[in-house]
Amino acid sequence: MCGIVGYVGLNEAEPILLDGLAKLEYRGYDSAGIAVHSGQKINIVKSKGKLAELQKKLSQNELKGTLGIGHTRWATHGAPSDINSHPHASNNCKIAVVHNGIIENYLSIKEELTESSFTSDTDTEVIAHLINKFYTKATIENLLDAVYAAIDKMRGTYALAIICSDFPDKLIAVKKDNPLVIGVGKNENFIASDITAIINYTRDAYLLDDGEVALIDAKNIKIFDKDKTLVSKKIFKIDWDIESAEKGGYDFFMLKEIFEQPKVINDFLSINLYDENFLHKINLETLENFTRIYIVGCGTAYHASLIGARLLSKLPNIFVSAEMASEFRYNEPLIDEKTLLIVISQSGETADTLAALRMAKEKNARVLSIVNVVGSSIARESDNVIYITAGPEISVASTKAFSLQVMALYVLVCNLYKVCKVISTEKFLQLQNELQRIPSLVTEILDRENEIKIMAEKYLSCKNVFYIGRGLDYFIAREGSLKLKEIAYLYSQAYAAGELKHGPIALIDDSILIVGVITQKNIVEKTLSNLKECKSRHGKIFIVTTENNSDIKNVADDSFIIPQISQIFAPLLANISLQLFAYYIAKGLGYDIDKPRNLAKSVTVE
Ligand code: AGP
């Protein structure tokens, strides 16, 4: 999704902006641009395509100056093109702006701006014209008033970075429903939509809240609320290290992040597994006050929600349901003060998930979130948070965050099983011991990376892939299938194995690969029999399973046996092998795995 950087200080802005934009590439984009104040005027260079295209243009037209804004665009309004790229400027080039989000009423604003001539198809361009219209006197107060007047007219979501040709040392930042942080430096300050863009320069940041406007120069940062009142905010310390945002010798971030899993799972467990206050810390020592639990998320986070909901549905006297956040909002769910909403999100900024949270809060539900990015909107707006402590996840395809979301749910579920007396203390201790084994079992799987690579390479010519499983395995089938779609661009579909016979089996022939996930003891034979049906229709079969028996070997063209563990935890292990499988198919097909086409890391628009 779009990315913003801004710089004001004593150094040349251009290289700092380009460095920040490079750090934001992982979010997904189709064009990029920067605006730098030369001391006299604002100069803009922008280009469709990757940053290299922008750099090519800049090598012929270097932008000098110590104030600037930059943007990577992910097209929403108007196709990717040089003209539609940000920054956008007013006709007199007094105001330049970059924007993340969507201005819903931009067409009606455009109609009102009869004196402006528009060059792009974007919603963003109207913002520059609108601010310019209200900007009538070259004073900073008037400029701020103009920004407030403009945002008063705008409906939608926005994070904005704004510069004005009359002020070669002032940067303005505005936030509503899209993340924006201010990096605090010495004699220089930064803004960014994502802290990865600025961790090379500073570890101190202010996290802007909705409705806030910041006026920033090299030495001062003033933050105003929606009523223009100065607010005082606490500095937020960024504790992510720079290395974790670098590739560290791996070909792709995705592979690096897959291989980080033993460590980050271990880190998570060392903080949470034996913490007797785990439930107390999230204010959930009892569920007596709740009649309903919804778990919501999008994409991969939704798959984690499905696993959580299936396990929590064993709790007595409580209705539990996993919901896609994008649907949940519009389904008129029953929500009241006896509802617990568990929100799952890596980024903590996903628009649909955030909207589901806000809807639930309006109806007085309690919100517990499971989030990676510290200080993100979802984390800040939740009543309680479990941080999964994955560190930065750069690859668009989520891997370590999913495993940690599931780990967080496992720890939560085991604790709730215990307090709700679904299991004995003895069983609880046994499950704790099992969870403690997971990092080393994940390592065992990763050590066999080559086996999976060889298998994946056999299937590079497959155009269609089914993933099937039952119960918890079905949810992992969905996650495996999503990963393959995202990075290998293969048509892939997950089915609950029992559903195959009700239609999809009509598609099976020798061109289709069927990936079967079998980790749940009670359904081994059932899923295997579905796979046999596929085999007899000449489908190719790859099975990921805990079962090491001849029946499996007879059915499978290839199989991958994962280590033994309590069966509720086995799906997580199965998923590690499917992550590698998708990775090696995408690698074999020669794709840019970390930046899949059309996708964004954090989906901050609906
Ligand atoms: C995962 O591989 C995807 N890129 C995507 O489905 C993602 O999980 C989803 O957009 C939700 O993101 P979030 O966890 O940041 O809310």
- Per-residue pLDDT reduced to its tens digit, 366-402: 999 999 988 888 999 999 999 998 988 989 999 999 9
In DSSP terms, 410 is beta-bridged to none
b/e for 429-447, b at 16 or more Cβ within 10 A? Answer: eebbebbeebbebbbebbe
Residue 298 a catalytic site member? no
Does the C-beta of 350 come closer than 6 Å to ligand 1?
Answer: yes
Does the C-beta of 486 come closer than 6 Å to ligand 1?
Answer: yes
Q: 129 in helix, strand or coil?
A: helix
Please say if the pLDDT value at position 210 is more than 80: yes
- Per-residue pLDDT reduced to its tens digit, 557-603: 999 999 999 999 999 999 999 999 999 999 999 998 988 887 777 77
Residue 109: CB partners within 8 Å, gap ≥ 6?
Answer: 103, 126, 130, 153, 154
Mean pLDDT in residue range 471-494:
96
- Tell the burial category of 522 from Cβ atoms under 10 Å away from its Cβ (0-12, 13-18, 19+): exposed
Mean pLDDT in residue range 64-73:
96
Q: Are 253 and 395 in contact (CB under 8 A)?
A: yes
Distance CA 170, CA 185 (A): 15
Inter-CA distances, 175 with 101, 138, 183, 214, Å: 10, 24, 15, 9
Here the tokens at position 497 are 């194995």
What class does CATH assign to 3-239? alpha beta
Q: 167 in helix, strand or coil?
A: coil
Residue 76, pLDDT score? 77
Which among 102, 148, 142 has a CA at the least distance from the CA of 126?
102
CA 586 and chain centroid, separation: 20
Question: Which atom of ligand 1 lies nearest, measured to the CA of 353?
Answer: 16
Question: Quick one: pLDDT band at residue 1, thresholds 50, 70, 90?
Answer: low
> 247-446 and 449-588: same fold?
yes
Does the C-beta of 89 come closer than 6 Å to ligand 1?
Answer: no
Which among 330, 367, 373 has a CA at the least distance from the CA of 350?
373
Please say if the pLDDT value at position 241 is more than 70: no
Distance CA 73, CA 141 (A): 30
Inter-CA distances, 488 with 26, 397, 583, 596, 599, Å: 17, 11, 8, 8, 12
Q: Are 539 and 405 in contact (CB under 8 A)?
A: no
- Per-residue pLDDT reduced to its tens digit, 124-148: 999 999 999 999 999 999 999 999 9
* Span between the terminal Cα atoms of the chain, in Å: 12
Question: From ligand 1's centre to the CA of 249, what distance in Å?
Answer: 25
Which helix (H) or strand (E) segment is 97 a member of?
A: strand 95-103
Which helix (H) or strand (E) segment is 31 a member of?
A: strand 31-37
Q: Where are the domains of the chain?
A: 3-239, 247-446, 449-588
Distance CA 539, CA 558 (A): 12
Question: From ligand 1's centre to the CA of 603, what distance in Å?
Answer: 8
Question: From ligand 1's centre to the CA of 88, what distance in Å?
Answer: 29
Here the tokens at position 132 are 């310019």
Q: Are 517 and 571 in contact (CB under 8 A)?
A: yes
- Per-residue pLDDT reduced to its tens digit, 298-324: 999 999 999 999 999 999 999 999 999
Distance CA 19, CA 328 (A): 38
In DSSP terms, 44 is beta-bridged to 35
Please say if the pLDDT value at position 73 is more than 80: yes
Question: Quick one: pLDDT band at residue 434, thresholds 50, 70, 90?
Answer: very high
Does the C-beta of 397 come closer than 6 Å to ligand 1?
Answer: yes
Superfamily of domain 449-588: Glucose-6-phosphate isomerase like protein; domain 1 (3.40.50.10490)
Does the C-beta of 353 come closer than 6 Å to ligand 1?
Answer: yes
Residue 341, pLDDT score? 98
Does the C-beta of 326 come closer than 6 Å to ligand 1?
Answer: no
Residue 176 a catalytic site member? no
More confident residue, 550 or 39: 39
- Per-residue pLDDT reduced to its tens digit, 350-376: 999 999 999 999 999 999 999 998 888
Residue 378, pLDDT score? 94
Q: 181 in helix, strand or coil?
A: strand
Which among 390, 380, 385 has a CA at the least distance from the CA of 346?
390
Please say if the pLDDT value at position 473 is more than 70: yes
Question: Quick one: pLDDT band at residue 244, thresholds 50, 70, 90?
Answer: low
What distance separates the 2 farthest-apart alpha carbons in the chain?
Answer: 82
In DSSP terms, 216 is beta-bridged to 171, 221
Please say if the pLDDT value at position 548 is more than 90: no
Does the C-beta of 520 come closer than 6 Å to ligand 1?
Answer: no
Here the tokens at position 531 are 């796979």
More confident residue, 286 or 75: 286
Residue 247, pLDDT score? 74
| Nearest CA owner, ligand 1 atom 8 | 300
Question: Which atom of ligand 1 lies nearest, measured to the CA of 396?
Answer: 4
Amino acid identity of 522?
A: N
Question: From ligand 1's centre to the CA of 510, what distance in Å?
Answer: 32
Average pLDDT along the chain: 93
Q: Are 99 and 124 in contact (CB under 8 A)?
A: yes
Q: Are 321 and 309 in contact (CB under 8 A)?
A: yes
- Per-residue pLDDT reduced to its tens digit, 10-63: 999 999 999 999 988 877 788 999 999 999 999 999 999 989 999 999 999 889
The dihedral of CA 98, 101, 102, 106: what is its sign? negative
Q: With a threshold of 0.85, does the pTM exceed it?
A: no
Pairing, β 540-545 against β 558-561 = parallel
Question: Quick one: pLDDT band at residue 96, thresholds 50, 70, 90?
Answer: very high
The 3-class secondary structure across 456-504, one letter per residue, is HHHCCCCCEEEEEECCHHHHHHHHHHHHHHHHHCCEEEEEEHHHHHHCH
Instruction: Tell which one of 300, 305, 376, 405 to mutate to probe ligand 1, the residue whose CB is within 8 A of the most ligand atoms.
Output: 300
Distance CA 437, CA 434 (A): 5
Question: Which atom of ligand 1 lies nearest, measured to the CA of 398?
Answer: 2
Distance CA 213, CA 127 (A): 15
Which position among 2, 164, 298, 462 bears the catalytic label?
A: 2
Distance CA 213, CA 147 (A): 9
Does the C-beta of 309 come closer than 6 Å to ligand 1?
Answer: no
Question: Is 247-446 assigned to CATH 1.10.260.40?
Answer: no
The dihedral of CA 453, 455, 491, 325: what is its sign? negative
